[in-house]
Structure 1
Amino acid sequence: MNSMKLTVMAASTLLLAQTANAETLRLLTWGGYAPQEVIDQFQKETGIDVKVTKSNNEDMISKLRATRGAGFDLVQPSQDRITGAQRDFNIYQPIDLSKIDTSLLIPSMLEATKNNTGLEGAVYGVPHIWGTSGLVVDTKSASGIKDYTDLCNDAYKGKVSYRLKRPTLIGFAFAMGEDPFAAYSDPAKYQAILDKVQAKLIECKPNVKAYWSGGDELLNLVRSGEVVGAMAWDAGGWKVNRDNADITFVAPESGALGWIDTFAIPRKSKAVDAAYKWINFVNQPEIAAKITESAGNFTASKGADNFVNDTAKAQFQSSFPQADIDNIKWYPTVPAGLEEMEGLVLDRVKAAN
C-alpha cells in the first residue's frame, strides 16, 4: 500500500473519530426557534452538533415526565409552565446564572423570568422568545384608544373587537387599576376583580362589532375598517401595518400582556455545558436577530432589534419604547381553580343583553 493511500486512510480515520466524539446538544424547542443558519454557525464555532426536535408546552412536559428529565439537554417551555411541572415531576435542574452572560439580556425580562420560574430558592428558566397582546388601533380614526378600557368609549360604538378569553379579563383588570396577578393566590379577591371586570365588559357590549375567535377573522375586520380598535397580539398588528401605515400595534398604558418562552435544562441533561454555550450564543444580538427573522417574534437579547430588517425594526421601536417593555405584565403560572372562575364570568358576559 503506497504512502498516499495510507495518508488518506489516516485522515479518514481521524475524521470519523472526531465525528464520533463530537458533542451533541439535543434541543427540544418550538418551530422557527433554531434556524439552520444559526445551528451551522454554532457548530462551526464550537464543534457541537445540535439535534432539534420541535414541540410545544404540553408535549415537552409529557416527554420529560415520561423519562424523569432525560432524553434532551435543553428545552424551551413557556415561563408559566415551569414551576408547576417541576414541583409535580422534578424534571428540571436549577439554572446556574453564573454561566449565563446576563449582560446580553433585557433586564426587566430576566427579572420577570427569574421571579416566575423561581421555586424553593432556585431559578429554572432563562428568557428567550417573547410576545405580547395589547391593542391594534387605526391611529387615524381612533387615536383616543390608549388602553383596554378606551375600547368602551362611546366614540367607538360598534367598531371594536376582542376575544372572550382570559387575556381580555386580565387586560381590563389592569386598565381598571387592579392587579389580577397579585390576586392569584386569593380566590375571593380575584373573584371581586372578575366581578368588576364582568360589569365593565357587559357595559361595553354595544361597542363590540364581534368577539373574534380566529386571527384572520380579526385582521380582516381591521383591514376593512369595520373595526378601528381591538385587543390582539403584536405580530398581528405589525402584519396589518405593512399594508396600512395608519394601523399598528399599541402597547396599552396599563401594560401589554406578555408571554416568554424560556430555556430550561432537563434534570438528566447529558450536555449541560453545551446547553449554556447555546444560550449565550443565541443571545448575541446579531444571532438573536436571525432567530427573530425565523420565528417572527423578538427575543430577550438586548439590542437585537437593531439587526432585524428595517420594517420590523421600525415597527418594534415604535410600539415598544423601553418604558413600555419594562411595563409588560408577564403571565405567571395559573393556580388551580381560576380557569373555572374565569369561564363563568366569560359565559355571563356572552349571555348578557
Structure 2
Amino acid sequence: MRPIVLLGLAALAFSTSVFANQKVVVYNWSQYIPDGLVAQFEKETGIDVEYSTYESNESMYAKLKLMKSSGYDVVVPSAYFVSKMRKEGMLHPVDKTLIPNLKNLDTNLLNKPYDPNNQYSIPYLWGSTGIAVNGEEIDPKSITSWSDLWNQKFAGDVLLTDDVREVFQIALAIKGYSGNTRNEKEIKEAYELLKTLMPNVQAFNSDAPRMPYLAGDTNIGMIWNGEAWMAKEETKHLHYIYPKEGAIFWVDSFVIPKNASNVKAAHAFINFMLKATSAKKCMEHTGYATPNLAGRALLSNKVKNSPIINPSKEDIERGEFQDDVGDVIQIYQKYWNMLKTGAK
C-alpha cells in the first residue's frame, strides 16, 4: 500500500501516530547494532521492535525457508545471499520513496550485480575477513599469508569462522583460484588443501569470534575486521592482518522478507538506520565500514584512519568480494560437511 500523499514522505517515516501499536521483527547478526539504538528508534517512531540474532547466513536462510519468508520484517544477509534469496523469490521489493535517507549512501556501493538497482536490498555495513594474531605469543610481522595458518607450530591453535564460503575462499586464494569459483575441480582441490589444515584447527566459531582470542584460548586464525576492532578496544595485543593472497570482502544489506507482516514499519526501521547519526554509531560500535557518506563525515579521526576498518586501496584490490555461486553452493556444502566430519 502506498503512503498517504497528504502526510508527506518524511512525516510518514517518522510519525508515531502512523505507526501506533505497530511492531517490526528484526533478525540480524549478533552484536551488529549498538546498545540503545533500537530503543531510540522505538522512541522516535512508536514502533516496538522484536529483535533476535543469528551467527551465519546459512542458519538465517534455513530459518526463513522453513518459515516461508514470514515471521520477520527486516533481515541482514550478505551480498551473495541477497542474490540467492532474490532469485528464489524470498524478498519483498524495496519502496525507495519510504527511505528518504537513501540519499546518504555512497552510490559506488549501489546497483551491484547481486541486486541491480537495489530493488530488494539496501547496504548497511561492509567489511573484511583476515587474520588475527595474538602479538604476545606470535610475532605479527611473521604472519603475511593465509598459508601461514598451515604452519605445524600452530597445531590445535587455529580458529576458523564457521562459514563454508569464507573457509573455502582462503584455500582457493592460496591455490590462485577465485573465491567465487563454480568449478568443482577447484573446489575439490581447496577441500584437499583444507583437510591438511585440520590438525591445526581448534574450532569453528562465528559467534563473536574475538572472544577466544581475548580469553587466550587461541592465538591465530580468521576473524572479521569488526571483531578485531572491538577486541582492539580491550587489548593492544591483537593484530589484524590483510593476507598477501587477499582478504575476503563482503557487504551486508537490509532486506524485507517476501511475507513480512509489517512492510511499512520495516521501511521505517531501514530509514532510521540510514540516518547519519545512526550510521556513525554503528560504525564506531561494530568496527565495520559504512556506505553512509553522511555518517562517515561525523566520525572521529581515530575511526576514519583505522586500517582495521578502512583497508587500503591495495588491500581491496588484492582481495575479493563474495558473489552468489548459484546451485554450486551445494557442492561447497558437500565438501564442507566432509571437512567438518572428517569423512572421505
State which of 322, 326, 339 in structure 2 corresponds to 1:330. 322
Q: Residues of 2 paired with 1:231 and 1:268: CA distance?
A: 36
| Offset of residue 35 of structure 1 | 5.6
- Using the TM superposition, give the Cα deviation of residue 230 of structure 1 relative to its aligned residue in structure 2, in angstroms: 1.4
1:202 to partner: Cα distance: 4.7
- Superposed CA RMSD: 4.5
CA contact (8 A) 1:35 1:291 kept: no
| Unpaired runs of at least 5, structure 1 | 1-17
Asked if the contact 1:130–1:300 (Cα under 8 Å) also holds between the matched residues in 2, the reply is yes
> Bigger CA drift: 126-135 or 31-40?
31-40
Distance change >3 Å, CA 256–CA 332, structure 1 → 2: farther
**Residues 239-278 of structure 1 mapped to structure 2, 5 A cutoff:** 239-266=230-257, 278=269
Please tell me whether the aligned partners of residues 131 and 243 of structure 2 are also in contact (alpha carbons under 8 angstroms).
yes
Q: Residues 224, 165 of structure 1: CA spacing in aligned structure 2 closer, same or farther, 3 A cutoff? A: same
CA distance in structure 2 between the partners assigned to 1:74 and 1:221 by the alignment: 31
Contact 1:78 1:259 in 2 (8 A): yes
Q: Tell me the distance in 2 between the aligned counterparts of 1:334 and 1:143.
A: 38
2: CA distance, partners of 1:35 / 1:241: 19
From 223, 227, 230, the counterpart of 1:232: 223
Q: Identify the match of residue 47 of structure 2 among 27, 50, 57.
A: 50
Q: What is the match of residue 287 of structure 1?
A: 278
Provide, for residues 202-227 of structure 1, a one-character-per-residue CA deviation record: whole Å limited to 9, x for no partner. 5556xx54432346898556765973
The count of aligned residue pairs is: 312
- Aligned partners of 1:199 and 1:267: how far apart in 2? 39
Q: How does 1:29-68 map to 2 (within 5 A)?
A: 29-30=27-28, 33=33, 36-37=36-37, 40=40, 44=44, 48-55=45-52, 56=54, 57=60, 58-60=62-64, 62=66, 65-66=69-70
Where 1:92 maps in the other structure, the secondary structure is coil
CA contact 1:61–1:85 (8 Å) conserved in 2: no
Does residue 179 of structure 2 align to residue 180 of structure 1? yes
Q: Which among 118, 124, 131 is matched to residue 120 of structure 2? A: 124
Letter in 1 for 2:178: D
- Of Structure 1 and Structure 2, the greater helix share is in 1
* Alpha-carbon distance in 2 for matches of 1:245, 1:110: 35
Task: State the match for 2:129 in structure 1.
Answer: 133
Sort the Cα spacing of 1:90 and 1:142 in 2 relative to 1 into closer, same or farther, 3 A: closer
TM-score (norm 2): 0.67
Q: What TM-score comes out, normalization by structure 1 length? A: 0.65
Per the alignment, residue 6 of structure 2 pairs with none
d(CA) in 2 for partners of 1:239, 1:98: 33
Aligned counterpart for 1:211 among listed residues 202, 205, 216: 202
2:185 aligns to what? 192
1:7 match: none
Measure, in 1, the Cα distance between the counterparts of 2:126 and 2:242. 14
The residue aligned with 1:8 is: none
Q: How does 1:124-163 map to 2 (within 5 A)?
A: 124-138=120-134, 141-152=139-150, 158=155, 161-163=158-160
Amino acid in the other structure paired with 2:307: Q
CA 1:146–1:101: 2 relative to 1, 3 Å: farther
Separation (CA, whole Å) in 2 of partners of 1:59 and 1:225:
31
Counterpart secondary structure, 1:337:
helix
Q: What secondary structure does 2:113 align onto? A: helix
Q: Secondary structure at the match of 1:146?
A: coil
Q: What SS does the corresponding residue of 2:173 show, helix, strand or coil?
A: helix
1:131 positional shift: 4.5
1:93-132 CA distance string (max 9 Å, x none): 2554996655533455435xx32235xx873111114454
Q: Which has the larger radius of gyration?
A: 1
Secondary structure of the residue aligned to 1:133 is strand
Q: Could you tell me which amino acid in structure 1 is paired with residue 131 of structure 2? A: L
In structure 2, how many angstroms separate the alpha carbons of the residues matched to 1:322 and 1:104? 23
